[in-house]
Amino acid sequence: MNIGKKIKEERQKKGWTQEHFADLINVSRSTVSSWEVGRNIPDIETILLISDLYGISLDKLLREEKNILKKTIGRKVTVRKAANHFEAIGETENSRYYMKETTSLPTQRKYVIEDAHHQKIGLAKRKRYNFGMYDLPRLFLKIDNWNEISIIKDMIQFRRVYNIKGEEITIEGDFLGNQFTILRKGEKISDVSVSQEEDISFDVTILDELLEPLMISFIFLVALVYEEEKNVIQLKK
């Protein structure tokens, strides 16, 4: 089933007319009709809106729409730390994201992740576990419409070795170095270059527009890892 048929199926389940549905997402009835018969497809922002409106995941909405799921755009985004939060600045106004700390305790910190309109799209948290003389940080990320992702320091090797779980994400290259590639389900979805000056920043090339919120949020989590490792190195000097 392609996205047009899925839009129609979910609309009919809710008992909405094309005109009512069009009003809800601020498009014309003819636009909705063109989607449902397969003449056109919605843009990415509208797909996200429809996903929220129907209360279904992007994966379910787009499961068989391979042309959209594999869309490659090479969007550039820079992730950096601001005065009291992390921010991601992209090429458009909608490609802006923020991670703000909401709770700070000795053993746990919590963060809210927001989109360009400062609407919450997910949560992150950092837990600390002491194992003898070692601090073993554990970081967790939960973004709307995706499974939880964790980055956990290895309990055996301790130093600069982390295990990543969730959404079948893997890393190629030096995870704590100056450049690495992010893969999901074995396919490259993002290239990352890291500037490790006084303030660490990440230049991210996102190859799948639909995964932008997930990738930026994941880089926010990675930034916390880099920040932690930088503090460890400074303490050892």
- Mean pLDDT, the chain, integer: 84
What percent of the chain has pLDDT above 90? 43
Task: Please say if the pLDDT value at position 227 is more than 50.
Answer: yes
Give the model's pLDDT for residue 69. Answer: 46
**CA neighbours closer than 13 Å in the CB half-sphere of residue 55:** 2
Q: Give the residue with greater pLDDT, 148 vs 155.
A: 148
How does DSSP classify residue 209?
G
The per-residue b/e assignment along 80-110, b for 16 or more CB within 10 angstroms, e otherwise, is ebeeeebbbebeeeebbbbbbeeeeeeeebb
pLDDT tens column, 167-193: 999 999 888 888 999 999 888 899 999
- C-alpha–C-alpha distance, residues 81 and 99, integer Å: 9
| Highest mean pLDDT: which range of 71-80, 204-213, 222-231 | 204-213
Task: Please say if the pLDDT value at position 64 is more than 70.
Answer: no
Task: Please say if the pLDDT value at position 135 is more than 70.
Answer: no
Domain spanning 3-69, CATH class: mainly alpha
Task: Please say if the pLDDT value at position 235 is more than 50.
Answer: no
Q: Give the residue with greater pLDDT, 24 vs 131.
A: 24
How far is residue 34 CA from its own chain's centroid? 30
Task: Please say if the pLDDT value at position 1 is more than 50.
Answer: no
Give the model's pLDDT for residue 57. Answer: 81
- C-alpha–C-alpha distance, residues 109 and 140, integer Å: 11
Output phi, psi for 22, to 5 deg. -60, -40
Sign of CA dihedral 153, 170, 220, 230: positive
Give the model's pLDDT for residue 149. Answer: 96
Two structure tokens written together for 200:
């660490």
65 pLDDT tier (thresholds 50, 70, 90) = low
Give the model's pLDDT for residue 110. Answer: 96
- C-alpha–C-alpha distance, residues 161 and 155, integer Å: 9
Task: Please say if the pLDDT value at position 221 is more than 70.
Answer: yes
Alpha helices in the chain (DSSP H): 3-13, 18-25, 29-36, 44-54, 58-62, 66-69, 212-236
CB atoms within 10 A of CB 183: 14
Give the model's pLDDT for residue 12. Answer: 94
